[in-house]
C-alpha cells in the first residue's frame, strides 16, 4: 500500500523542519503537538528548527528493517539542535570511526527511502558532520 | 533590468578517478586523462539526486541573499536526470524552501543546457514584471554507459540562482540563444543510458553552437573578449571549454576560475551554471563575465553579467564552490561506484 498520504502530511516537518513553539512557555515540540507537554498550552507559533547541533548518542545499524536493508550499514543518532530540540535521524557522509558524542552535525536534505522502483521517493532530513 | 540576487552550488563528496574506471575496462588512463583533460569526477551517494542537490544549492543561495522564499514566483529546474519520469522535481524543491503555493513551477530538459534555460526564462519573466524573484537551477546526476567514454565524465552537482529585478550581485546585461536541430546526443524513452554520435559531438555540435552563440552575443553587446574579466563555457570535459575559449579569443586566465571539469567532471545541466558560481566566488565589483552554455540536440544560451559592489560581502555567507570541490572528498572504487549508481542487477 502506498504511503503517499502519510508522507504528504509530514512534509512541513520532513522538508522544512517546522516545529511548534508554545506561546505560553516557549517549549518547541517536534513534530508539533496539540497540547504542550510542558505547560498544557494549546496555542503555538510555527518555527523552523535550528539547522545545527551536537550529537548526543549514535549507533550503527547493520541489520536494518526491510525498507532500509539496501542502505546497511548506516549510522543513526540523536542530536540536540542549537534551539534545544532533540532529533533522531540517520547520519550521512560519515566514517563510522569518526562518530563521537558531542560531534557537531547539521541537517541536510536527502532521500530517506523509496517505495521500490515504481513507488514514491521519500525525502527528508539527515545529519551530516560539520567539517 | 534583471540581476542575480543570490547563488549557491552543491557537490556530493564522492569522487572516482579516471584510473579506477579505466582499469576495469582495460582502457588507457593516461590517454583519457590527456584527451579529455579530466582527472576525476563527482559521484552522488544513493541518498542524493537532482532534488536533494537542488534543495541544498538553493538553501545556500537563500542564505547569501536573505530574501523571503515566499516572494519567489517561479521555480525552474533544468536537468536530464529528474528523479521521476512523471512528477515535477520543482514541487519538492519549492516546498522544501517554503516557496509554495503561490508559485509557477516547471521542470526543464535540454540535455546540458537546461539550467541556463531556467536562468534565461527567469530573466525574461523578471524583466517583464511578471514575477519579483525567480529560482533557476541546473542540476544533474548524469549516467554514462559502463565502458563508454561518457562514463569518465558524467558527474553530479547543482547550481541555483535567484534572479530578481534589483541589480543584486551581478547585473544580467544581455543574453542570446542559438540553436539548430543537431542529433549529437540523445536518450530514448525507457533507455537507461544516453547514446552519442562520437566525434560528431565536437565540431558540428559543441563548437558550432558555442561559437555561434558567443559571436552573436559579442556583436549584440558591441564587445570583444578582452572586455571581460572572466569567461565560462559548458564543460563536457576539461578540453572543450579551453579550446572553444581560444577559438573565440579568450585567454586561459579568463576561463580558469570557472573551469571545474578536470576534477568535477561534466555535471550536465549544472556545468556552466556551476562554473559561474565559482567565478562569482572570486570576481570583483565592475568585472564583466561572459557565459555560454551548450546542450546537445543542440543549442547554447549566452549571458553577459556585470558584478556589483554587493558581491564580496554576500558571497562569504555560504561555501565557495572550490571549497566544495577540493575539500572533504572521499575516493570510491569502481564496485562502490556501480552500487551507488544502480548499475548492478540484483535478485528479484
pLDDT at B294 over 70: yes
Question: pLDDT-based confidence at B204, cuts 50/70/90?
Answer: very high
> Is there a contact between B117 and B268 (Cβ–Cβ < 8 Å)?
no
The residues on B that touch A, with CB distances below 8 Å, are: 13, 45-49, 51-52, 55-56, 59, 83-84, 92, 95-98, 327-328
| CA closest to A131 among chain B residues | B328
CB contact under 8 A, B84 and A121: yes
What pLDDT sits at residue B167?
78
Q: Which of B43-52, B187-196, B316-325 is predicted with the least confidence, judged by mean pLDDT?
A: B187-196
SS3 B205: helix
Buried b (16+ CB within 10 A) or exposed e, B267-304: bbbbbbbbbbbbbbbbbeeebbbbbbbbbbbbbbbbbb
> Is A126 within 8 Å of B51 when comparing Cβ atoms?
no
H-helix or E-strand spanning residue B116 = helix B114-127
pLDDT at B236: 97
B46-98 tens-digit pLDDT = 999 999 999 999 999 999 999 999 999 999 999 999 999 999 999 999 999 99
Active-site pick, B112, B122, B196, B306:
B112
Tell me the per-residue pLDDT of B220-253, one tens digit each, with 9 for 90 and over: 999 999 999 999 999 999 999 999 999 999 999 9
User: Are residues A39 and A80 both part of a single domain?
Assistant: no
* Structural domain spans, chain B: 3-169+312-340, 171-310
Superfamily of domain B3-169+312-340: Thiolase/Chalcone synthase (3.40.47.10)
B209 is catalytic: no
Clarify whether residues A20 and A83 are in a common domain: no
d(CA B121, CA B130) in angstroms, rounded, equals 11
- Residue A2's pLDDT band, with cuts at 50, 70 and 90, is low
Bin A119: left if φ > 0, else alpha if -120 < ψ < 50, else beta.
beta
Tell me, yes or no, if the two domains B3-169+312-340 and B171-310 fold the same way: yes
Q: In chain A, which residues have their Cβ closer than 8 Å to the Cβ of B47?
A: 71, 92, 110-112, 126
Q: Alpha-carbon torsion B273, B105, B168, B301, what sign? A: positive
- For the cut 70, the answer to whether the pLDDT of residue A10 exceeds it is yes
Residue B308 CB neighbours (<10 A):
19
CATH number at residue A67: 2.40.50.840
- In order of A27, A55, B38, B144, B297, the CA distances from A79 in angstroms are 17, 4, 40, 38, 48
**With an 8 Å Cβ cutoff, are A16 and B98 in contact?**
yes
Question: What value does the mean pLDDT of chain B take?
Answer: 96
Residue A60: CB atoms within 10 Å: 14
Number of domains in chain A: 2
Q: Contact, B267 vs B324, CB < 8 A?
A: no
**Residue whose C-alpha cell is 539526486:** B49
Chain B neighbors of A123, CB-CB under 8 A:
51-52, 92, 96
What CATH class does B171-310 carry?
alpha beta
Mean pLDDT score, A21-39: 96
Residue B129: which region, alpha, beta or left (left: phi > 0; alpha: psi -120 to 50)?
left
Which residues from chain B sit within 8 angstroms of residue A126, using beta carbons?
A: 47
Contact B113, B294 (CB under 8 A): yes
CA distances to A7, A29, B133, B315 from B96, rounded to whole Å, are 14, 20, 17, 22
Among A28, A48, A68, which residue terminates a domain?
A48
Percent of chain B past pLDDT 70, that is, above it, reads 100
Q: How far apart are CA B139 and CA B271, in angstroms?
A: 8
Residues of chain B with Cβ-Cβ distance to A70 below 8 Å are: 46
* Residue-by-residue DSSP string for B279-290: HHTT--TT-EEE
Q: What is the number of other CB atoms lying within 10 angstroms of the CB of residue B115?
A: 36
Looking at the fold, whether A60 and A85 belong to one and the same domain comes out as yes
pLDDT exceeds 70 at position A1: no
Same structural domain, A104 and A57? yes
Contact B22, B29 (CB under 8 A): yes
- The DSSP string of B243-311 is HHHHHHT--HHHHGGG--HHHH-B-GGGHHHHHHHHHHTT--TT-EEEEE--BTEEEEEEEEEEE-TTH
Residue-number span of the structural domain to which A27 is assigned: 1-48
What does the pLDDT look like over B104-163, one tens digit per residue?
999 999 999 999 999 999 999 999 999 999 999 999 999 899 999 999 999 999 999 999
Q: Rounded to a whole number, what is the distance in Å from the CA of A117 to chain B's nearest CA?
A: 10
Amino acid at each position: 500500500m502506498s504511503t503517499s498520504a502519510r508522507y504528504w502530511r509530514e512534509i512541513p516537518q520532513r522538508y522544512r523542519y517546522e516545529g511548534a513553539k508554545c506561546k505560553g512557555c516557549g517549549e518547541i515540540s517536534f513534530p508539533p503537538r496539540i497540547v504542550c507537554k510542558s505547560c498544557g498550552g494549546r496555542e503555538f507559533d510555527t518555527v523552523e528548527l535550528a539547522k545545527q547541533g551536537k550529537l548526543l548518542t549514535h549507533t550503527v545499524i547493520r541489520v536494518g528493517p526491510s525498507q532500509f536493508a539496501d542502505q546497511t550499514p548506516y549510522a543513526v543518532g540523536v542530536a540536540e539542535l542549537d534551539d534545544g530540540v532533540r532529533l533522531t535521524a540517520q547520519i550521512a557522509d560519515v566514517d563510522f570511526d569518526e562518530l563521537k558524542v558531542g560531534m557537531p552535525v547539521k541537517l541536510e536534505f536527502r532521500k530517506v527511502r523509496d517505495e521500490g522502483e515504481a513507488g514514491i521517493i521519500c525525502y527528508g532530513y539527515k545529519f551530516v558532520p560539520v567539517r | 533590468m534583471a540581476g542575480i540576487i543570490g547563488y549557491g552550488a552543491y557537490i556530493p563528496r564522492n569522487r572516482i578517478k579516471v584510473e579506477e574506471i579505466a582499469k576495469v575496462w582495460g582502457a588507457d588512463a593516461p590517454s583519457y586523462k590527456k584527451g579529455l583533460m579530466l582527472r576525476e569526477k563527482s559521484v552522488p551517494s544513493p541518498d542524493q539526486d537532482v532534488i536533494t542537490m537542488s534543495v541544498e544549492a538553493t538553501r545556500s543561495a537563500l542564505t547569501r541573499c536573505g530574501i523571503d522564499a515566499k516572494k519567489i514566483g517561479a521555480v525552474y529546474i533544468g536537468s536530464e536526470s529528474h528523479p521521476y519520469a512523471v512528477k515535477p522535481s520543482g514541487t519538492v524543491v519549492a516546498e522544501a524552501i517554503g516557496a509554495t503555493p503561490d508559485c509557477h513551477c516547471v521542470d526543464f530538459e535540454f540535455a546540458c543546457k537546461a539550467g541556463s534555460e531556467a536562468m534565461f526564462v527567469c530573466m525574461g519573466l523578471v524583466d517583464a514584471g511578471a514575477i519579483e524573484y525567480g529560482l533557476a537551477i541546473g542540476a544533474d546526476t548524469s549516467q554514462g554507459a559502463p565502458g563508454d567514454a561518457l562514463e569518465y565524465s558524467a558527474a553530479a552537482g547543482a547550481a541555483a540562482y535567484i534572479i530578481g529585478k534589483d541589480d543584486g550581485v551581478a547585473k544580467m546585461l544581455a543574453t542570446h540563444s542559438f540553436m539548430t536541430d543537431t542529433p549529437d546526443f540523445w536518450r530514448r524513452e525507457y533507455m537507461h543510458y544516453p547514446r552519442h554520435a562520437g566525434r560528431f559531438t565536437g565540431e558540428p555540435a559543441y563548437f558550432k553552437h558555442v561559437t555561434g552563440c558567443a559571436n552573436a552575443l559579442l556583436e549584440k553587446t558591441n564587445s570583444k573578449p578582452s572586455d571581460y574579466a572572466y569567461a565560462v563555457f559548458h564543460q563536457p570535459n576539461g578540453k572543450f571549454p579551453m579550446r572553444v575559449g581560444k577559438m573565440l579569443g579568450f585567454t586561459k586566465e579568463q576561463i580558469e576560475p570557472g573551469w571545474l571539469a578536470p576534477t568535477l567532471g561534466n555535471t550536465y545541466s549544472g556545468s556552466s551554471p556551476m562554473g559561474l558560481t565559482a567565478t562569482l566566488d572570486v570576481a570583483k565589483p565592475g568585472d564583466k563575465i561572459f557565459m555560454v552554455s551548450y546542450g546537445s540536440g543542440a543549442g547554447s544560451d549566452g549571458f553577459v553579467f556585470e558584478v556589483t559592489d554587493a558581491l564580496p560581502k554576500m558571497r562569504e555567507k555560504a561555501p565557495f564552490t572550490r571549497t566544495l570541490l577540493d575539500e572533504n572528498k572521499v575516493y570510491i572504487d569502481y564496485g562502490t561506484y556501480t552500487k551507488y549508481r544502480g548499475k548492478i542487477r540484483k535478485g528479484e
